[in-house]
Structure 1
């Protein structure tokens, strides 16, 4: 007689447990600046990601900084910081292949390859279609001489774009611009980009067909010899906690979907890319895939 009651009882216990966690995080947790940003803008927002990138614990009453440090040390955020470093490494390689030399070193491509693979302006053009504030892209631009790299950051989050614009102005960066735009319905840029980046977006989409269509559409935007760089979340040990506790930018609970990297590579191949390769960041939750051809 007790068996039919087991599942409903377990569900009620779990519901109470998650409600308690939500209440605790929404009250005491708000002493942490990071958690407060998550409740204001969404834990999946560009503003939240930018805060995680800075990785400096802040909070109220002393205990807030302790909570914030625990929060910033969560495995997912550590993996996202590792993903950022891998993305920067991949983008440096792509820029070098197009003849772009950093401030302290020569590019790895020869003059002939530079002439054939860079745009008429002489700049390597990088378009990030879901950038948020784009802090890591600002760091990248700062590594190169003016006129070597141009970055356009797009996002639907106007607050994140404004934050990025303000930061770029403070840093005196000229090679990066911000524009409102939908990553899944991207308008053409003023010229075809050499590199298109999609970082942290596909992990938030639950419909595989939407992602496959996006990969195909972005391929059509690339300049000849261009490359699509995108990320995939292959696993996450805290999926249930996130889906039960943390609100996304739309105010709903944040549900993520993990996928095998082989599926991501299959989307790229079906879109017509002939050279597809993936690397995993150091923590092991995300991959970065490059697709060209």
Structure 2
């Protein structure tokens, strides 16, 4: 139910998510003679797509299709009310919806503009950060980056209760009269049977975590952004909204503060000026598309370069921070006397292929119960959990690429340019119903070549697989590989090297090697919660140097891959937003 029936006709449809859930959406086709693009609407928490349907008429954009979904657990979409397996699952639903709009309705990503409110705006901000889509722009209305919780220590308490009780639901305290001054909107909210007050505690906690990450790292978002801030918002705090705007990496961004407005920004009584501003912003984006911000030299200047240089600066052992990290390193050395994983990290580097293979196996080892307990804690750190999820995603996209090649009746010839021990490639090939005709594993480390060759023998794949010592940054060496691969893999390599010139050289060699319409699986690390700990306390495989990483935003990584002649067609990201895995097709330069 909504407070206004749109004059434009619409259809009710569904699309399937990655986990088989069928989500509901409405589609209003353009009424003009030529469709220019589409507007995609994302509703507030507790609500559904029909609550934004009034914008279809009010924006007065006849040359544009409109789409509005009901998020899982909301409106006509299935699932317990207010619940999703995780916030990251709902972010992936956004990408799936956008892909569906392109496939089913013929509107490519570049011809979409997104309008989102409150929780929906956090969802879209996270999507823009993690997936680096190429839509025309974003309009974010009162994003719920920090919900006003009037009970002291509510967030910490909810986290503790979640650990103790498991899943439970929290009811919204917000009354409709505190959302809008519009009496019709208030009345329709009160009688709408599809409004649901509960929100699952896991989603509430995930919302806070995602918002903290996206606000802190808003520089990674380079899309044109219009931010609307309600001046008298009872539901969310203003400060993170302003911080987000100031940190945005967008070349085009605009902020409109609306005095006296309550939280339902685009459903307020006097919303006409705000709606007019949104309409003008959309038309500007389609009249004069803004070129993407060039990030290929982000290693020289910008937020991640500054962050990396700061982490590489030595600290005085007499300073509080210096003393803290000295104690941390001493603790790790002590732990290494008992924990097999920690000792392996000290011996070979915490970023080495040997360490990663140990992390993949995830079987705590050490001297006695104490050693195994230390090792279990070490292996359960968020970074290593992310690494294991990255392996799952790499294998998933390798198999997808193999199936795509099989559907085209083409040979599957795999090349991994820096395979470590090669476990993820060999596991992926073994689990696929598609047979590979050849597997070439390459690595610069003789230890990795030795142990990877042993793993090939263990899996009885000598008839199709070989392991050679080679430099992943040597363009000529990569380009001269025979037979030419139809699927290249680069996992966990570029994250270890801050210099984009090295990465560009390597990717150029991969582009030279892979057949046209072949595939590339590549990884990225757009964010990490333990960067300082890694830089201050862990050592690299490079002769015991400090392991200082420079993050690459997803947009930066995708630009480097595009320069080498590939176009991204699929992506995965873990629930913490640390590691991404993408699949690209070689389209030529």
Task: Specify the TM-score bucket, using the shorter chain as the normaliser.
Answer: 0.7 to 0.9
Asked whether 1:237 is paired with 2:544, we answer no
Following TM superposition, by how much is the alpha carbon of 1:150 offset from its aligned partner in structure 2, in angstroms? 2.3
Asked whether 1:285 is paired with 2:578, we answer yes
Q: 2:470 aligns with which of 181, 185, 189?
A: 181
- The answer for the alignment partner of 1:209 in structure 2 is 501
More moved, 11-20 vs 269-278: 269-278
- The answer for the alignment partner of 1:86 in structure 2 is 393
Unaligned segments of structure 1, at least 5 residues: 1-7, 100-108, 119-123
Choose 1 or 2 for highest CA Rg: 2
- The answer for the alignment partner of 1:170 in structure 2 is 458
Q: 2:342 aligns with which of 21, 26, 35?
A: 35
- The answer for the alignment partner of 2:358 in structure 1 is 51
More moved, 138-147 vs 242-251: 138-147
Unaligned segments of structure 2, at least 5 residues: 1-314
SS state of the match for residue 190, structure 1?
coil
In 2, the alpha carbon distance for the partners of 1:71 and 1:274 equals 37
In 2, the alpha carbon distance for the partners of 1:147 and 1:23 equals 49
Considering Cα pairs closer than 8 Å and 6+ residues apart, tell me whether 1 or 2 has the greater RCO: 1
- The answer for the alignment partner of 1:5 in structure 2 is none
Asked whether 1:72 is paired with 2:379, we answer yes
Q: 2:442 aligns with which of 154, 171, 177?
A: 154
**Aligned 8 A contact 1:275 1:291 in 2:** yes
In 2, the alpha carbon distance for the partners of 1:11 and 1:153 equals 46
Query: Could you give the per-residue CA deviations for residues 101-136 of structure 1, whole angstroms, max 9, x where no partner exists?
Result: xxxxxxxx1xxx20xx32xxxxx1110011011112
Asked whether 1:130 is paired with 2:437, we answer no
Q: 1:21 aligns with which of 325, 328, 331?
A: 328
Work out the number of aligned pairs and report it.
267
In 1, the alpha carbon distance for the partners of 2:318 and 2:572 equals 39
SS state of the match for residue 216, structure 1?
helix
SS state of the match for residue 203, structure 1?
helix
Query: Could you give the per-residue CA deviations for residues 189-240 of structure 1, whole angstroms, max 9, x where no partner exists?
Result: 2211011111001111111232233222211111121112211101111100
SS state of the match for residue 62, structure 1?
helix
**Aligned 8 A contact 2:439 2:465 in 1:** yes
- The answer for the alignment partner of 2:550 in structure 1 is 257
Following TM superposition, by how much is the alpha carbon of 1:94 offset from its aligned partner in structure 2, in angstroms? 0.7
Following TM superposition, by how much is the alpha carbon of 1:57 offset from its aligned partner in structure 2, in angstroms? 0.4
Following TM superposition, by how much is the alpha carbon of 1:10 offset from its aligned partner in structure 2, in angstroms? 9.7
**Aligned 8 A contact 2:521 2:583 in 1:** yes
**Aligned 8 A contact 1:265 1:276 in 2:** no
Query: Could you give the per-residue CA deviations for residues 37-79 of structure 1, whole angstroms, max 9, x where no partner exists?
Result: 1111110000000000000000013201000000000111111
- The answer for the alignment partner of 2:517 in structure 1 is 225
Q: 1:248 aligns with which of 533, 540, 543?
A: 540
SS state of the match for residue 291, structure 1?
strand
Choose between structure 1 and 2: higher helix proportion: 1
Following TM superposition, by how much is the alpha carbon of 1:266 offset from its aligned partner in structure 2, in angstroms? 1.3
In 2, the alpha carbon distance for the partners of 1:9 and 1:261 equals 34
- The answer for the alignment partner of 2:170 in structure 1 is none
* CA gap 1:9/1:54 in 2 versus in 1, 3 angstroms: closer
* CA gap 1:147/1:282 in 2 versus in 1, 3 angstroms: same
**Aligned 8 A contact 2:511 2:564 in 1:** yes
More moved, 250-259 vs 169-178: 169-178
**Aligned 8 A contact 1:280 1:286 in 2:** yes
